[in-house]
């Protein structure tokens, strides 16, 4: 037809024919042909320009569309309302908010904004899709006339950006203005309820939908209801709505299956997956991704393996990098790194997301070195790292104390532009330098961040606390508040640790007051435990106990913290009393609890009670006795004078991982003057081959206590190192005075 029109010479005579021909090519997505017609026409009008802009927008070529808009203006043509609407849509497709602002300014200049609600709605939609919610709200507030489309655009944008409460607030404002929600509004509000787990508001919206009979006639609304109830954990309601819908699609099935999977009902989800396929619906990638994620969270390798087998039967899914990434995540969460690596190797296309999944899997399983090897291999294969890659690599460097490698990665980040100023990467850099005790560099990176958020401050404070710079940590904490930043639970815990490290109880109490004011003591057990620990470390057990009793929920960590406080002050009778109360309240004792309690029994000389606790550890509480518990029993028996029994435990140990094992028995022998057992322990300690000069001082004490000729006995023992001189009760090593102490208990020899 185009050929016939050209042959007849009509094309050059009428704009109407040219516009129709242009529309025909654009509707068929033949953009090159459309551009050719446009270029060959000598006289153009605003309709032709707008048609071309619209065509580029429809196929997602926003940059090209905006370029046409600029060329149109440069050629002297004034855009009309439709042109502006199409150009704003072009800005939306590529997230070009700045260009959208230019168009907005032109619309304001021409006075179109206040006359046309569609232009206003498009402006709101453009800012929303570019993530500029504040600007979108400004535009909405300035609109002389707002309709359901205006409000729905803002509500949907808030939900897309994760501002669920704000979305529901907008919905309330809209209805106060007398604007009635449509089905799209309800879908946005239900998504907000699901995202914020606000089942009360969701149920209310459900009632409105039922009253307006939107539920039975609109499958999208039905899907949103199922998804909302499933996300809120009300699976029976989700199932009920699902069963009532006569028409179903893959989206509806996916919503229900994902709900069951994310609530931990993986077998139900697997059953529904089979039923979905029986009814002729093929599960898509999102179905499998949701289920694999749930399997990883639940560590359910059986269901995960079944899903993997189902994926293998569908070649299109097996090659999907998102599916591959989810499989790697699932196997890594289940601790099967070899299977995760198998999946990785089987993928023909490995993009940055797949590499990131493998790196994250290594980190989760403590394989930090392998995570860094992954990073290096990525570079060898010329895969461009993204922020997640850099965060993983920096985390590995922090854990491994690999400062030089961390500095290399910092250089890689710098070469990528201004990424180091990005808050997520910047925070990871601060954390990496802080963990490597490079606090000056950590502060430099921190100062260079465009946005210093709570995570940034916490990373820096944690670095100071970890490396004993309590004063600096508290100074940071105070600066953070002066700059208007709100501390979170992590900040408070770090602040309390800093106060404990420098004995600043006054400041610790001030932090406690702030915690009380925010209601965190009632809602966050970790914060409550940190307050107990702060008071205990300052020796204020009355205050520690008071806070402990105020906690609505007490776990084994909070109990252990209180028990440790009493032990450190030698108030062991309180330890035994509290331990019995802990058991009465049904709290399961941990291995740490038994170390504390056995140590208390040792200090109080409660041999029989200590033996009873030791014997019931495994039988009643499932705690396998470890070296630490055996050391406590050795000390308990030794202190009570049962050195032969203590030594019998020593001889059964496979190896001496801690010198305190023989220190304990030698100390007991010294108190009792038992040179026979002392000699055996001494020779055994020497046999291990570990260079521990302190045993000579302990043996000297034994001979003095037993009134045995030191010269006679010492002549038969191997000689001590030359830099060691032994005296009863104390010793000098390299001209530096040392007192004997064990990591678990202290006593005077």
- Euclidean distance between CA atoms 424 and 600, whole angstroms: 46
Nearest to 599 by CA among 747, 449, 431: 747
CA atoms within 13 A on the CB side of 93: 19
The backbone torsions φ and ψ at residue 178, rounded to the nearest 5 degrees and listed phi first, read: 85, 10
Q: Read off the tokens for 720.
A: 């001590």
Q: Could you tell me if residue 636 is inside a domain?
A: yes
Nearest 5°: CA angle at 231, between 225 and 232?
90
Q: Do residues 124 and 139 make contact, with C-beta atoms less than 8 angstroms apart? A: yes
The backbone torsions φ and ψ at residue 30, rounded to the nearest 5 degrees and listed phi first, read: -95, 75
pLDDT for 730 beyond 50 = no
Find the mean pLDDT for residues 278-291: 87
Nearest to 353 by CA among 333, 383, 314, 376: 383
Four-CA torsion 234, 240, 242, 246, nearest 10 degrees: -170
Per-residue pLDDT reduced to its tens digit, 571-602: 999 999 999 999 999 999 999 999 999 999 99
DSSP label of 74: H
pLDDT for 529 equals: 95
pLDDT for 1 beyond 60 = no
- Euclidean distance between CA atoms 285 and 322, whole angstroms: 8
The kind and range of the H/E element at 67 are helix 62-74
Nearest to 203 by CA among 175, 237, 239: 237
Q: Do residues 532 and 562 make contact, with C-beta atoms less than 8 angstroms apart? A: yes
Q: Could you tell me if residue 631 is inside a domain?
A: yes
Q: Could you tell me if residue 749 is inside a domain?
A: no
How many CB atoms sit inside 10 A of residue 58's CB? 16
Nearest 5°: CA angle at 459, between 454 and 462?
120
Find the mean pLDDT for residues 296-302: 88
Residue whose entry in the numeric block shows the structure tokens 């202290």: 746
Task: Taking the CA atoms of 140, 143, 145 and 149 in sequence, report the sign of the dihedral they define.
Answer: negative
Q: Could you tell me if residue 275 is inside a domain?
A: no
Q: Could you tell me if residue 291 is inside a domain?
A: no
Band (13; pLDDT cuts 50, 70, 90):
very low
First to last CA, the chain: 108
CA distances from 191 to 125, 161, 254 (A): 18, 12, 15
- Euclidean distance between CA atoms 626 and 631, whole angstroms: 9
- Euclidean distance between CA atoms 91 and 531, whole angstroms: 52
Which has more pLDDT, 92 or 703? 92
Total number of domains in the chain = 1
pLDDT for 741 equals: 34
CA distances from 451 to 244, 594, 646 (A): 49, 46, 60
- Give me the domain span that covers residue 660: 626-738
Q: Please give the full DSSP string across 238-252, using - where no structure is assigned.
A: HHHHHHH-SS--HHH
Total length of the chain:
749
CA distances from 742 to 87, 116, 267, 745 (A): 75, 81, 51, 5
Q: Is 733 helix (H, G, I), strand (E, B) or coil?
A: strand
Give the 3-state DSSP-derived string for 581-610, with helices as H, strands as E and coil as C: HHHHCCCCCCHHHHHHHHHHHHHHCCHHHH
Per-residue pLDDT reduced to its tens digit, 340-388: 999 999 988 899 999 999 999 999 999 999 999 999 999 999 999 999 9
Task: Taking the CA atoms of 358, 361, 363 and 365 in sequence, report the sign of the dihedral they define.
Answer: negative
Q: Which of 81-85, 158-162, 660-664, 744-748 has the lowest mean pLDDT?
A: 744-748
The kind and range of the H/E element at 447 are helix 439-448
DSSP label of 313: T
Find the mean pLDDT for residues 504-515: 95
Per-residue pLDDT reduced to its tens digit, 681-691: 777 766 665 55
Q: Could you tell me if residue 637 is inside a domain?
A: yes
Q: Read off the tokens for 172.
A: 């309330």
What's the mean per-residue pLDDT of the chain? Answer: 84
Band (134; pLDDT cuts 50, 70, 90):
confident
DSSP label of 421: G
Q: Is pTM, for the whole model, over 0.85?
A: no
Nearest 5°: CA angle at 416, between 411 and 422?
90
Q: Which of 56-60, 171-175, 581-585 has the lowest mean pLDDT?
A: 56-60
Nearest to 678 by CA among 626, 714, 636: 714
Q: Which residues pair with 747 in a beta bridge?
A: none
**Cα radius of gyration (the chain):** 36
Find the mean pLDDT for residues 668-673: 74
Band (132; pLDDT cuts 50, 70, 90):
confident
**Across the beta sheet with 730-733, what order do the strands follow?**
724-727, 730-733, 736-738
Residue whose entry in the numeric block shows the structure tokens 């465009």: 450
pLDDT for 740 beyond 50 = no
Burial class from Cβ neighbours inside 10 Å (0-12, 13-18, 19+) for residue 264 reads middle
According to DSSP, the β-strands at 736-738 and 730-733 are antiparallel
Residue whose entry in the numeric block shows the structure tokens 């599960």: 283
Which has more pLDDT, 59 or 446? 446
Band (321; pLDDT cuts 50, 70, 90):
confident
Q: Read off the tokens for 127.
A: 């800012």
Find the mean pLDDT for residues 85-91: 91
Q: Could you tell me if residue 630 is inside a domain?
A: yes
Per-residue pLDDT reduced to its tens digit, 179-205: 999 999 999 999 999 999 999 999 999
Q: Could you tell me if residue 414 is inside a domain?
A: no
């Amino acid at each position: 037809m185009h050929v016939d029109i050209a042959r007849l010479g009509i094309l050059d005579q009428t704009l109407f024919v040219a516009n129709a021909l242009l529309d025909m090519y654009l509707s068929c997505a033949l953009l090159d042909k459309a551009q050719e017609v446009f270029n060959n026409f000598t006289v153009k009008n605003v309709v032709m320009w707008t048609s071309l802009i619209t065509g580029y927008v429809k196929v997602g070529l926003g940059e090209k569309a905006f370029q046409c808009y600029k060329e149109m203006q440069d050629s002297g043509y004034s855009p009309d309302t439709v042109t502006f609407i199409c150009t704003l849509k072009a800005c939306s497709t590529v997230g070009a908010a700045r260009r959208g602002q230019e168009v907005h300014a032109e619309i304001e200049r021409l006075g179109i904004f206040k006359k046309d609600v569609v232009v206003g709605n498009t402006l709101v939609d453009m800012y929303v899709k570019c993530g500029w919610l504040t600007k979108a709200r400004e535009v909405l507030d300035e609109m002389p006339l707002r309709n359901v489309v205006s409000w729905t655009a803002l509500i949907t944008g808030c939900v897309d950006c994760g501002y669920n409460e704000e979305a529901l607030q907008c919905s309330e404002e809209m209805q106060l203005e007398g604007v009635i929600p449509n089905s799209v509004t309800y879908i946005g509000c239900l998504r907000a309820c699901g995202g914020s787990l606000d089942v009360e508001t969701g149920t209310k919206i459900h009632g409105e939908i039922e009253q307006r009979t939107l539920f039975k006639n609109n499958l999208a609304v039905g899907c949103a209801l199922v998804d909302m109830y499933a996300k809120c954990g009300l699976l029976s309601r989700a199932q009920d709505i699902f069963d009532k819908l006569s028409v179903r699609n893959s989206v509806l099935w996916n919503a229900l299956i994902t709900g069951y999977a994310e609530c931990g009902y993986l077998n139900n989800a697997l059953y529904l997956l089979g039923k979905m396929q029986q009814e002729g619906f093929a599960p898509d990638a999102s179905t499998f991704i949701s289920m694999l994620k749930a399997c990883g969270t639940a560590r359910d390798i059986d269901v995960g393996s079944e899903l993997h087998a189902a994926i293998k039967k569908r070649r299109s899914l097996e090659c999907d990098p998102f599916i591959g990434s989810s499989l790697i995540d699932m196997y890594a969460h289940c601790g099967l790194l070899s299977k995760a690596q198998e999946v990785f190797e089987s993928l023909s296309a490995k993009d940055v997301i797949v590499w990131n999944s493998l790196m994250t899997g290594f980190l989760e399983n403590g394989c930090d070195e392998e995570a860094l090897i992954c990073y290096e291999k990525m570079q060898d294969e010329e895969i461009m790292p993204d922020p997640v890659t850099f965060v993983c690599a920096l985390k590995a460097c922090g854990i491994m104390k690999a400062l030089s490698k961390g500095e290399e990665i910092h250089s890689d980040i710098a070469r990528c532009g201004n990424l180091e100023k990005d808050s997520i990467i910047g925070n990871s850099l601060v954390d990496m330098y802080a963990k490597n005790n490079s606090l000056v560099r950590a502060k430099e990176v921190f100062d260079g961040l465009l946005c210093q958020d709570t995570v940034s401050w916490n990373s820096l404070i944690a670095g100071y606390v970890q490396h004993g710079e309590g004063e600096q940590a508290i100074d940071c904490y105070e600066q953070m508040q002066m700059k208007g930043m709100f501390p979170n639970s992590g900040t408070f815990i770090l602040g309390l640790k800093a106060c404990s490290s420098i004995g600043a109880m006054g400041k610790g109490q001030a932090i406690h007051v702030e915690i009380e004011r925010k209601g965190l003591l009632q809602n966050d057990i970790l914060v409550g435990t940190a307050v107990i620990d702060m008071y205990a470390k300052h020796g204020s057990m009355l205050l520690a106990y008071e806070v402990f009793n105020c906690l609505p929920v007490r776990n084994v960590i909070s109990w252990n913290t209180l028990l440790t406080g009493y032990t450190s002050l030698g108030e062991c009778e309180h330890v035994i009393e509290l331990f019995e109360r802990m058991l009465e309240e049904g709290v399961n004792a941990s291995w740490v609890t038994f170390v504390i309690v056995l140590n208390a029994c040792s200090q109080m000389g409660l041999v029989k009670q200590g033996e009873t606790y030791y014997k019931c550890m495994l039988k009643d509480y499932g705690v396998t006795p470890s070296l630490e518990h055996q050391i406590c029993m050795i000390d308990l028996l030794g202190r009570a004078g049962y050195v032969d029994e203590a030594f019998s435990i020593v001889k059964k140990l496979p190896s001496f991982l801690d010198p305190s094992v023989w220190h304990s028995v030698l100390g007991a022998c010294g108190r009792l003057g038992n040179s026979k057992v002392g000699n055996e322990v001494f020779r055994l300690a020497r046999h291990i081959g570990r260079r521990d000069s302190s045993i000579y001082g302990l043996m000297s004490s034994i001979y003095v206590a037993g009134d045995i000729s030191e010269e006679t006995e010492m002549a038969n023992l191997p000689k001590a190192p030359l830099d060691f001189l032994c005296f009863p009760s104390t010793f000098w090593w390299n001209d530096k005075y040392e007192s004997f102490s064990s990591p678990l208990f202290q006593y005077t020899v």
